[in-house]
Amino acid sequence: MRASSATAKMKDVVKMERESVIPILKPRLVMKLAYLIEQPEDRTEFMKLCKRIEYTIRAWYLLQFEDLMQLYNLFNPINGNEKLEQQNLRSDEIVVLEQNFLTYFFEVMEKSNFKIVTDREINVAHFGQYLLNLPITVDESKLDKNLFSRYFKEHPHENLPEFSDKYIIFRRGIGVDRATDYFVMEKLDMLIARFWKRLLRSTKLEKRMSTKPSLRAKKDLKKTDKTTAEIEGQEDMFMERIQLQNMELNMQNLLGKITIQEPTFDRMIIVYRRATKNDKKDRGIYVKQFKDIPMADMELVLPEKKNPSLTPMDWVKFLSSVIVGLVTLVSSLEMPKADIWVVIAILSGVVGYCAKIYFTFQQNLVTYQNLITKSMYDKQLDSGRGTLLHLCDDVIQQEVKEVIVSYYILMEQGKATIEELDFRCEELIKEEFGSQCNFDVHDAVQKLEKLGIVSRDTIGRIMCVPLKRANDILGTTTEEVVMKARQTPTA
């Protein structure tokens, strides 16, 4: 990925790990693989096998998903409390049901290849700037801290973020978001900031007003900033950020449109519970799903956000600039030969910097409100029961695709070790569909063995049974019986 001429020489790139999600729709996957089979009769048998694999895997998960949905009915924020009262359960019994729901839920998230957002990813989000340029914080007093604390005490996880006792954010899938606009206020803000910086240097006040960069920012820069040579040959593992703050503004891009770019998470799901405000405990568990969230704007999905305001650092800069400017101005006026241009420059700098802080905040506040509205209407996919139903179906689709790809490779290319099968599956997806993923070969082989359509030879290599034999082993499914009954004309 090459940077435009407007970007700085040092690229700002973010390391992204390849995920286990197969980013191909199942109908397209099945039709493409069937098309690659030469013999028409084998093609027909393969299509039948794919359907039977899906019907069988769906039946495996049916009971587990039913338990998940039944438990969520008791903790639905809309009417869950009423259903709990009807059950007349003790407090300790309700806690057990809560933990059972979370256990099922985390299993589904793992099967769907969702991962918990880490502190490092949150730090990258805080350090980067894209469309959201305001510090967003969570009102932790409005969030329950007991629900997840109990769960993670019984089910320890590695690399949990510091906020894991209050809410959990899951993410999956990688994408890129680009925004093209004139960015008038942002460019003006940058020009004022650069003018102010030059003024401080010329008046030798920079050292007095400079602040040390945060350790977290330095740490993130080491992790995210790479030169072109360092990422060459690893483009699939790194994604470039193109930010306005790093651009060299010339007359062409200063007056015209420019394009900025930020890596995104294709799907994000947040789970939390609100704190109880009165004696009646609120047991509702909120589950919300979002799409295409830029990494630098990850704060958009946070729950119970505080209204943004000027930060303490903004007030420090504001007041310190006024004080230093006034002191310098008075000192200049007390000189025997006061230079009027120096006085004008100091006043212009102070007024300009104060205006910059105020107008930048107002512009960012408008942008924040627009982004919140957009995230609610455009980027929020679903919540509650709708999100859980989507996750359950997503688990089935991913499992089916993994099994179909693995069986196809064994059928066409013969027996293979687990490592060879993993490599061949990833190459097939890359060559035939132009996509890349970290294929979950171990899970796929376990499913194939459970279905009884693969076996291992004496040295551990995996081999599949012939197509017709595989269809006989799976047998006629209930869905096929129903479809046949529908096609039979009634008397």
pLDDT band at 341 (very low <50, low <70, confident <90, very high): low
Predicted confidence at residue 339, as pLDDT, reads 62
Predicted confidence at residue 8, as pLDDT, reads 38
pLDDT above 80: residue 308: no
Q: Please state, for a pLDDT cut of 90, what percent of the chain lies above it.
A: 42
Domain limits of the chain? 13-49+388-486, 77-175+261-305, 312-361
What span, in angstroms and rounded, lies between the C-alpha atoms of 260 and 241?
8
Give the residue carrying structure tokens 């999600």. Answer: 21
Task: Please give the average per-residue pLDDT across 404-420, as a whole number.
Answer: 96
Handedness of CA 123, 129, 132, 133 (dihedral sign): positive
Beta bridge partners of 13: 240
φ, ψ of residue 83 to 5 degrees: the values are -70, -35
Q: Give the start-end residues of each E strand in 273-365.
A: 286-294
pLDDT above 90: residue 278: no
φ, ψ of residue 449 to 5 degrees: the values are -70, -40
Mean pLDDT across the chain? 80
pTM for this entry: 0.76
pLDDT band at 234 (very low <50, low <70, confident <90, very high): very low
Predicted confidence at residue 28, as pLDDT, reads 96
Candidate from 160-169, 217-226, 265-274 with smallest mean pLDDT? 217-226
Which residues are CB-neighbours of 311 under 8 A, at least 6 positions away? 135
What span, in angstroms and rounded, lies between the C-alpha atoms of 405 and 32?
11
DSSP assignment of 345-414, as one string? HHHHHHHHHHHHHHHHHHHHHHHHHHHHHHIIIIIEEEETHHHHHHHHHHHHHHHHHHHHHHHHHHHHH-
Higher pLDDT, 228 or 153: 153
pLDDT above 80: residue 42: yes
pLDDT band at 228 (very low <50, low <70, confident <90, very high): very low
Task: Please give the average per-residue pLDDT across 264-288, as a whole number.
Answer: 88
Predicted confidence at residue 6, as pLDDT, reads 41
Predicted confidence at residue 244, as pLDDT, reads 78
pLDDT band at 235 (very low <50, low <70, confident <90, very high): very low
Nearest alpha carbon to residue 299 among 150, 130, 111, 102: 130
Predicted confidence at residue 29, as pLDDT, reads 96
Task: Please give the average per-residue pLDDT across 34-47, as a whole number.
Answer: 95
Predicted confidence at residue 483, as pLDDT, reads 85
pLDDT (tens digit per residue) in 100-152: 999 999 999 998 889 999 888 888 777 777 877 777 788 899 999 999 999 99
pLDDT (tens digit per residue) in 346-404: 666 666 666 666 666 666 666 656 666 665 557 778 888 999 999 999 999 999 999 99
Which residue stretches of 203-262 are H helix?
A: 206-209, 215-224, 228-231, 251-255
CA distances from 462 to 223, 407, 448, 450, 470 (A): 40, 10, 10, 13, 15
Q: In residues, how long is the chain?
A: 491
pLDDT above 50: residue 2: no
Q: Give the start-end residues of each E strand in 140-228.
A: 167-181
pLDDT above 90: residue 51: yes
Q: Burial level of 328, CB count in 10 A (0-12/13-18/19+)?
A: buried
pLDDT (tens digit per residue) in 204-214: 555 554 544 44
Predicted confidence at residue 350, as pLDDT, reads 67
Predicted confidence at residue 229, as pLDDT, reads 38
What span, in angstroms and rounded, lies between the C-alpha atoms of 396 and 384?
19
